[in-house]
Amino acid sequence: MSDVKIYQASATAPVNIAVVKYWGKRDQKLNLPTNSSISVTLSQSDLRAHTTASCSLSYSSGDTLLLNSKPEDVTNARIQACFRELRTLRSHVESCDSSLPRISHLPLRIVSQNNFPTAAGLASSAAGFAALVFAIAKLYELPTSSTDLSRIARQGSGSACRSLFGGFVEWQMGKLDDGSDSIAVQIAPASHWSTLKALILVISGSKKDVSSTSGMQATTKTSELFNRRVETVVPANIKMMQSAIMKKDFETFAKVTMSDSNNFHATCLDTYPPIFYMNDISRATIRLVEYLNCILNRTVAAYTFDAGPNAVIYYQEEDEKLVVGHVKGILGHVDGWQGRGATVSPLINDGFDQRATELLHNGVSRVIMTGIGDGPISIVESLITDNGKPL
Amino acid sequence: MSDVKIYQASATAPVNIAVVKYWGKRDQKLNLPTNSSISVTLSQSDLRAHTTASCSLSYSSGDTLLLNSKPEDVTNARIQACFRELRTLRSHVESCDSSLPRISHLPLRIVSQNNFPTAAGLASSAAGFAALVFAIAKLYELPTSSTDLSRIARQGSGSACRSLFGGFVEWQMGKLDDGSDSIAVQIAPASHWSTLKALILVISGSKKDVSSTSGMQATTKTSELFNRRVETVVPANIKMMQSAIMKKDFETFAKVTMSDSNNFHATCLDTYPPIFYMNDISRATIRLVEYLNCILNRTVAAYTFDAGPNAVIYYQEEDEKLVVGHVKGILGHVDGWQGRGATVSPLINDGFDQRATELLHNGVSRVIMTGIGDGPISIVESLITDNGKPL
């Protein structure tokens, strides 16, 4: 019977880690940011959200979303905004071509899985909303560009718009009240600078104090320094970062990445009451990166921290032995090395601050070695059975 | 023999803890600040520098300074500046009154002792330079006002100028290139608000990364947010703080104290490379103060942090049981309670974050209970013998 047909499509989408940070909304409902931002898309081999979108008249319980086997509340305004936008586009396509099945009004069943622990605080919502929007767009066979999809994903989770592209991505803040010009664009594909690598240190311990959304609200409302970040610091960092990426100038890339991360966390500390995302272990990571760049007498590594204690260290493939090798000298006992990162000379390790070494040794629970990667991809592997049951 | 006469005078001077912070010099040599600051002078019963200044023709080895039984280098430009200014004033007095002994050219022997560990990082240089300048002024019998002495002490250590007064003190940044208008003035004496108390948590562990002097230089040079602090944030905080002090309005006093401390540390974090003075234990103290103010539904305590991890918590005498009692519930095992601060209901303690409680329990090495106090005083007790030997 055609009326119980199950339509479905599957996709994966990547995590992205900003090098010029998004912090602050000028419109809460539309997720319009107070400043532009730039990110690096990480490889989906290591970190990805996998989503199957399906719809069917046989889905009697209305729209549903299963995330890592747990039902999510789809009445959430952000999820609703994505569903509504995508349904409107499908309905338009249907109205233009009477041969197409009428599926825009059918209940949606979305099943999504991350290949990394959500609790690790690794920008999972960005990958999740990008995969959700991309999978539904494919289910609906929409002729929509990635930039148009980024506008929709942004309404789910701001930084999700950047996960619609691979490589180096700018989220242009836009100026319009309706958010139609607040979109992601690709600065350069992953292939432009494929030797850029990322080492993630997952730092255990304290749960996040303050969610990104409420943290941003508090900062925009109470920080006296925040306007300066938005008006002066970020526009300068965006320009320097665009140029550094085009020239593959790691030194400038690193400098802007580190100082923008610090600048963002400074506005968090200037919030009232103050917000702290980094802890003593995060700071030990900063000291380690500074130490490496200092003893090697050139910039081989750059740290950055999102709204949590985990560190992301960017480096270039040719320096992997130096950077990863050195970190492994301290963190050899934790999971995630994949047999890589031979320990470098203990002479180098020995010179590093003993207390910071101990903090890292005891405080990092695992590492993830990854690199720059591509945008969302359609895949065949489905998370639901042919008769629509979640696997 | 009169030519081997030992002239001497002794004084003590207090520590001061800023509630609107000094950070940044517009002139390195003269210690001229980029912004005005306000501090509270703490009681000398608990924290003081004790200095004996003496001079004699019999002192053959030139000027000397013994600080906590350790010889200091008096060729240091800052010490030299204080000596020079005071000698010039004495020499002027001598030239006006021929009956006075000619002592301005005699070698100085200064002996100084703090009644608290210098290593604790408790603004010891402020108390030290204030005591040094005050003791020499007394030795020279100078008719100089405290404000004029503050101008001299400032050249030794910027914040020392504020330790020339008791109570609530403003260091007015001034505008002139020669620093003659960069002086301390008293906003109100200690008696104006004698119920203001301070509880200091001495946080053990990591030594200071970056000295105040080099930290300030780095911040003024590299922080993009620093100008905003200097131009907008501090002038507003100075005004609010002056008014809060005059009105004894603890809520505003507390709010400005806490947000100015955070704002200062935010500019440190925005420095490149970043400077961190607070650690996880400092942050646990912030959480504790926030928790107390929240469960009691009014502002009973305010935290502030200088260029180091130690916390100073201001509160009012009438809330001592609540504030000190609560802190003692966590830190009862450390030194410094003087039998005060009965533990309050465990119900209140139980609600506070377990991880922050552990950090405080293990990371605070002692407490100092003190209050607001007076400026430098002349005392008889000398640190040298009648024949000029250090005791």
All structural domains of chain B with their residue ranges:
7-189, 196-371
Those residues whose C-beta lies under 8 Å from the C-beta of residue A378, and which sit 6 or more positions away, are A9, A10, A11, A134, A138
What the block records as the tokens of B212 is 């105040």
Q: Report which of B267, B253, B179 is spatially closest to residue B224, judged by C-alpha positions.
A: B267
- Asked if the Cβ–Cβ distance from B283 to A267 is below 8 Å, we say no
Q: Give the nearest partner residue to A269 out of B223, B229, B265, using CB atoms.
A: B265
pLDDT tens digit at each of 391 positions of chain B:
445 899 999 999 999 999 999 999 999 999 999 999 999 999 999 999 999 999 999 998 899 999 999 999 999 999 999 999 999 999 999 999 999 999 999 999 999 999 876 655 676 889 999 999 999 999 999 999 999 999 999 999 999 999 999 999 999 999 999 999 999 999 999 999 999 999 999 997 555 668 888 999 999 999 999 999 999 999 999 999 999 999 999 999 999 999 999 999 999 999 999 999 999 999 999 999 999 999 999 999 999 999 999 999 999 999 999 999 999 999 999 998 887 766 666 656 678 899 999 999 999 999 999 999 999 999 999 999 998 899 8
Q: What is the rounded distance in angstroms from the CA atom of residue B267 to the CA atom of residue B247?
A: 30
- Asked if the Cβ–Cβ distance from B263 to A224 is below 8 Å, we say yes
CB A297 within 8 A of CB A179: no
Partners of residue B266 in chain A, C-beta under 8 Å: 223, 225, 266-267, 269-270
Dihedral (Cα; B216, B221, B223, B229), 10-degree rounding: 60
Q: What is the rounded distance in angstroms from the CA atom of residue A262 to the CA atom of residue A273?
A: 18
Partners of residue B232 in chain A, C-beta under 8 Å: 224
How far is C-alpha B375 from the geometric centre of its chain's CA atoms?
Answer: 11
Q: Give the nearest partner residue to A270 out of B227, B266, B286, using CB atoms.
A: B266
Best probe of the A interface among B283, B285, B292, B359, by most A CBs < 10 A, is B283
Alpha carbon distances (Å) from A13 to A135, A373, A374, B7, B377: 9, 10, 9, 82, 71
Which element (helix H / strand E) includes B268? Answer: helix B250-269
- Asked if the Cβ–Cβ distance from B262 to A274 is below 8 Å, we say yes
Cis ω for the linkage preceding B101 (within 30 of 0) = no
What the block records as the tokens of B184 is 């301390």
Q: What is the rounded distance in angstroms from the CA atom of residue A389 to the CA atom of residue A57?
A: 14
CB B112 within 8 A of CB B66: yes
Question: Domain A7-189 belongs to what topology?
Answer: Ribosomal Protein S5; domain 2 (3.30.230)
Is a pLDDT exceeding 90 seen at residue A344?
A: no
pLDDT in tens, A276-319: 999 999 999 999 999 999 999 999 999 999 999 999 999 999 99
What residues are paired with B27 via a beta bridge? B32
Q: Give the nearest partner residue to A225 out of B266, B273, B274, using CB atoms.
A: B266
Is a pLDDT exceeding 60 seen at residue A120?
A: no
Q: What is the rounded distance in angstroms from the CA atom of residue A154 to the CA atom of residue B55?
A: 75
Query: What is the reported pLDDT for B121?
Result: 63
Q: What is the rounded distance in angstroms from the CA atom of residue A282 to the CA atom of residue A203?
A: 8
Q: In this structure, how many other beta carbons lie within 10 angstroms of the beta carbon of residue A3?
A: 8
What the block records as the tokens of B38 is 């306000």
Best probe of the B interface among A224, A260, A268, by most B CBs < 10 A, is A224
Q: What is the rounded distance in angstroms from the CA atom of residue A207 to the CA atom of residue B391?
A: 55
- Asked if the Cβ–Cβ distance from B274 to A262 is below 8 Å, we say yes
Q: Is B147 exposed, middle or buried (0-12, 13-18, 19+ CB in 10 A)?
A: middle
Q: What share of chain A is helix, strand, coil (3-state, %, to 5)?
A: 40, 25, 35
Instruction: Read off the pLDDT band of A118 (50, 70, 90).
Output: low
A149 or B212: which leads in pLDDT = A149
Q: What is the rounded distance in angstroms from the CA atom of residue A349 to the CA atom of residue A288?
A: 10
CB A34 within 8 A of CB A88: no
Question: What ipTM was reported for this prediction?
Answer: 0.90
Partners of residue A258 in chain B, C-beta under 8 Å: 272-273
pLDDT in tens, A66-76: 999 999 999 99
What the block records as the tokens of A248 is 């593959």
- Asked if the Cβ–Cβ distance from A286 to B272 is below 8 Å, we say no
pLDDT in tens, A24-58: 999 999 999 999 999 999 999 999 999 999 999 99
Reading across the β-sheet that carries B70-72, which strands appear in turn? B70-72, B64-67, B108-114, B48-55, B7-14, B377-379
Q: What is the rounded distance in angstroms from the CA atom of residue A20 to the CA atom of residue A40?
A: 10
Q: What is the rounded distance in angstroms from the CA atom of residue B338 to the CA atom of residue B368?
A: 9
Partners of residue A304 in chain B, C-beta under 8 Å: none
Taking the CA atoms of A314, A319, A322 and A324 in sequence, report the sign of the dihedral they define. Answer: positive
Q: Report which of B75, B194, B190, B96 is spatially closest to residue B143, judged by C-alpha positions.
A: B96
- Asked if the Cβ–Cβ distance from A266 to B262 is below 8 Å, we say no
% of chain A surpassing 90 pLDDT: 86
Q: What is the rounded distance in angstroms from the CA atom of residue B243 to the CA atom of residue B257?
A: 13
The residue ranges of DSSP E strands in A48-195, in sequence order, are: 48-55, 64-67, 70-72, 108-114, 168-172, 183-188
Best probe of the A interface among B234, B252, B270, by most A CBs < 10 A, is B270
Q: What is the rounded distance in angstroms from the CA atom of residue B312 to the CA atom of residue B302?
A: 8
Which element (helix H / strand E) includes B200? Answer: strand B196-203
CB A90 within 8 A of CB A104: yes
CB A47 within 8 A of CB A14: yes
Query: What is the reported pLDDT for B341?
Result: 67
CB A35 within 8 A of CB A162: no
What the block records as the tokens of B391 is 């005791």
Amino acid at B278: M
Q: Which CATH number fits domain A196-371: 3.40.30.10, 3.30.70.890, 3.90.25.10, 3.30.70.141?
A: 3.30.70.890
Mean pLDDT for all residues in chain A? 93
Query: What is the reported pLDDT for A1?
Result: 44
How far is C-alpha B109 from the geometric centre of its chain's CA atoms?
Answer: 24
If you count residue pairs, one on A and one on B, with CB atoms under 8 Å apart, how many are there?
Answer: 81
Q: What is the rounded distance in angstroms from the CA atom of residue B373 to the CA atom of residue B197?
A: 10
Least confidently predicted of A113-127, A193-207, B33-47: A113-127
Alpha carbon distances (Å) from A297 to A210, A287, A293, A294, A301: 38, 15, 6, 5, 12
Query: What is the reported pLDDT for A340?
Result: 74
